[in-house]
Structure 1
Amino acid sequence: MANSFDDLPPRTALAGIARDFHARGWMGGTAGNLSARADDAHFWITASGLPKGSLGEDDFLLVRVADGGVVERGRAGLAPSAETGIHAAIYALDPQARACLHGHTVVACLATARLKGRPKTLRLPGLEMVKAFEIWEQHPKAELALFENQPDVARIAREVRSRFSRRRPAISALLVRDHGPTVWGRGVQEAYNRFEALDFLLSFLASR
């Protein structure tokens, strides 16, 4: 058994994370999507409409970072996830990002349920777990980028690209209201660790 997801081929690692996230209730049904770079110009991403608790290595597509275009399918008939454009935007804007994980969690929705207005960020609690995002201050002020949910996911991707091209996010994560978090890292394991840490922080907010 590998000690780290980074010790596994990208698709093997992502399939393992999908099973883990599904078991935790973070990828119920066919919700959510996961990706990892194959090289600087391409990344593997989960296919659309598949139950995440039983993904295999053939249930992924290879797409271009530049435009999200499909280069290779693990098997015939697979379609790319609707959120492919969001992953492509993150990889294009952050050359260090090697993996990107998106789930649908209850606490993420609850954490924004009581927000007034339409803020662009969500203040995370200054708890120990923010260190997962390399924030080391004693009393940190960590802001999570917040986007509005909408049926046109491509529009969300354009908004992510536009906002982050003007100003890089304070932490390597974003949240779509009433939808779920997306977290990225310099490796698959780091992205996984950060997703867990963000869920902890959002659970704290949701419980208050």
Structure 2
Amino acid sequence: MQSTTLADSRFKLINAASSFYQQGWMVGTAGNLSTRLPDGSFWITASGCSKGELTLTDFVRIYPDGRVECLANVKPSAETSIHQCIYTLFPQAKACYHVHSVEANLVSNLAEAGKLPLPSLEMLKGLGIWEENPCCLMPVFHNYLKVDRIADEITERFKTNPPKISALLIRNHGVTVWGKSTEEARNYIEILEYIFRYMVAARQMQGKRLGDK
């Protein structure tokens, strides 16, 4: 097993999870984070662990051949198959983050035909969208009880129609992002959660205006 040093990538996941927990995006044991290592394996948060109190033993290492390694009697996240398919589809991805927020769940129900139009905000530049009045459609997937079915649909859709941004929504479940580093993945989460809050606030304001008429 990889030796524990200050450079251990799990520390970055612990810090990110603590931040997300404090913002209410990973309450209870919700959500999962992973980071890929040079040999193709990846660390992923264990199932049933509080994301605000993670330790180095709260992770499971998944190898390309399917082998599982852990420091304690823990199980890998129930959504490991989604992380696996993301790393297979996007070889440049070094981190994959999934959080549950109220706003992400609310806006997921605004999607039609599996796509959610994002507003043309300046914040889209942080997701790599450098266009004048961009049309950015975020892919949305059905929340099946069997997670492997979600992973299969992600693989099937993205093989022929890769997303414009490194992110997807699962309806009434949460947002998943991936990036070339743990820092990039964390930035993507924060940017998207800002956009989701904006969308919810905009609809509330629109409803208030209609109610005042």
TM-score (norm 2): 0.88
Q: Look up the match of 2:70.
A: 73
How many residue pairs are counted as aligned between the two chains?
Answer: 197
Q: Look up the match of 1:137.
A: 131
Deviations 1:164-194 (A, max 9, x none): 1122111100000000000111000000001
The partner residue of 2:85 within 68, 82, 89 is 89
Q: In the TM superposition, what is the alpha-carbon distance from 1:124 to its structure 2 partner? A: 0.6
Question: What's the secondary structure of 1:96's corresponding residue?
Answer: coil
Distance (whole Å) between structure 1 residues aligned to residue 25 and residue 148 of structure 2: 22
Question: What's the secondary structure of 2:52's corresponding residue?
Answer: helix
**Residue type of the alignment partner of 1:26:** W
The partner residue of 2:141 within 139, 147, 150 is 147
* 8 Å Cα contact 1:147-1:177 kept in structure 2: yes
Distance (whole Å) between structure 2 residues aligned to residue 73 and residue 12 of structure 1: 16
Bigger radius of gyration among the two: 2
Q: In the TM superposition, what is the alpha-carbon distance from 1:128 to its structure 2 partner? A: 0.7
CA RMSD across the alignment: 1.4
The partner residue of 1:100 within 89, 96, 103 is 96
The partner residue of 2:107 within 105, 111, 116 is 111
* 8 Å Cα contact 1:129-1:197 kept in structure 2: yes
- Which range moves more in the overlay, 185-194 or 40-49? 40-49
- Which stretches of structure 1, 4 residues or more, deviate above 6 A after TM superposition? none
Which residues of structure 2 form unaligned runs of 5+? 1-5, 204-213
Question: What's the secondary structure of 1:190's corresponding residue?
Answer: helix
Question: What's the secondary structure of 2:168's corresponding residue?
Answer: strand
Q: Decide whether aligned partners of structure 1 residues 70 and 53 sit closer, same or farther in structure 2, where only a CA change above 3 A counts.
A: farther
* 8 Å Cα contact 1:102-1:183 kept in structure 2: yes
Q: In the TM superposition, what is the alpha-carbon distance from 1:64 to its structure 2 partner? A: 2.6
Q: Decide whether aligned partners of structure 1 residues 107 and 95 sit closer, same or farther in structure 2, where only a CA change above 3 A counts.
A: same
**Residue type of the alignment partner of 1:122:** L
Which residues of structure 1 form unaligned runs of 5+? 1-6
* 8 Å Cα contact 1:61-1:70 kept in structure 2: no
1:177 equivalenced with 2:171 (yes/no): yes
Q: Look up the match of 1:11.
A: 10
* 8 Å Cα contact 2:92-2:180 kept in structure 1: yes
Deviations 1:42-63 (A, max 9, x none): 1100000111110011110110
